[in-house]
Amino acid sequence: MKFPLIVHLILFSWLAAVPANDPDIRKLSSREIINEGEEYVYEVSWTVFKLGTIHLKVSPRYTVEARVNSYPSVPFVDLHSAHYSEMDSSFYSIGSHTAEKKETDWWGVNYIYDLPQRRLIIEETHQKDLESPPFSRQIKDTLGLPSVNFVDGLAIAFLPRLYIHSAQSMDVPTVLYGKIGTTTYDFTGYKTTEDIEALDDPVRVVEVNGTTTAVGIYGMTGDFTGWFSDDDAAVPIKGKLKVLIGSVTVELIKWNRKGWNPPQ
């Protein structure tokens, strides 16, 4: 049993919801959302079992890094992976890399985007550790892109942060594991509250529902629901999505963002 990187979509779970009386249709600014040096730690759980953590670090240059680690107490699981995404100011993907530790080495996939030619070059990498350059690179495939505006990896969870205060539906081309699909986001401005273990009082959030035809890590596909902080930061607070083992929950447990705490 392994758990997914939600960083692909970060973040989703249930609770009774209250509709917004007057949804704000404005689009947030990426400069409002991205905060220098912000970090977030999420815990991944399946039913009553806590599986591990996702540690996100975000740069003002629209890059995000995620480290995924399973808990030592989880039987038959020893998962350690790293994920990097580079985005433009609209949170569309312009580059990404992922690597997973297998025994003593790290095996990865590097996405090289040739946007003028609308193509994606998929490169397999092999390295001793994350700090050293790959000692092996091999081009595995080249794909045509349907658009220059698309998401992959961690960008799947960042794009909706711009639109949580709007009322619209968006279909976005999506690249996961070398395959192209579509992710549909449904934005309604639906406001509610969510409980998280890190705080005594509920967090004010905006709900986003969606579905993806792309298949991600450990079978992540299909319907998802995410809750983002009901403010201009639009931080992913909690989420639920489907993987091979069923439905997993990703929940914010630590944060470091200047001048910010989850709204209550």
Domain residue ranges of the chain, discontinuous segments joined by +: 17-83+147-256
What are the pLDDT digits (tens) for 107-147? 999 999 998 999 999 999 999 998 888 889 999 999 999 88
Query: Per DSSP, which regions of 10-148 are E strands?
Result: 17-18, 39-46, 49-59, 63-70, 80-87, 93-102, 105-114, 119-127, 136-144
Distance (Å) of CA 184 to CA 9, 108, 214, 244: 12, 27, 11, 20
Q: Of 83, 250, 101, 242, which is closest to residue 155 (Cα–Cα)?
A: 83
- How far apart, in whole angstroms, are the C-alpha atoms of residue 84 and residue 53? 16
For the whole model, what pTM was predicted?
0.85
For domain 17-83+147-256, say whether CATH 1.10.3120 is its number.
no
C-alpha distances out from residue 250 to 6, 152, 225, Å = 7, 19, 11
Residue 3 has pLDDT above 90, yes or no: no
Helix (H) and strand (E) counts for the chain? 2, 16
Q: What share of the chain is helix, strand, coil (3-state, %, to 5)?
A: 5, 55, 40
- In tens, the pLDDT along 205-237 reads 999 998 888 765 555 667 889 999 999 999 999
Tokens of 246: 């069923």
27 close to 166: Cβ distance less than 8 angstroms: yes
Look at residue 17 and tell me whether its pLDDT is greater than 60. Answer: no
pLDDT more than 90, % of the chain: 58
Per-residue pLDDT tens digits for 65-101: 999 999 998 887 788 999 999 999 999 999 999 999 9
- Residue 154 near residue 12, CB atoms below 8 Å: no
Closest-CA residue to 137 (of 85, 178, 81, 97): 97
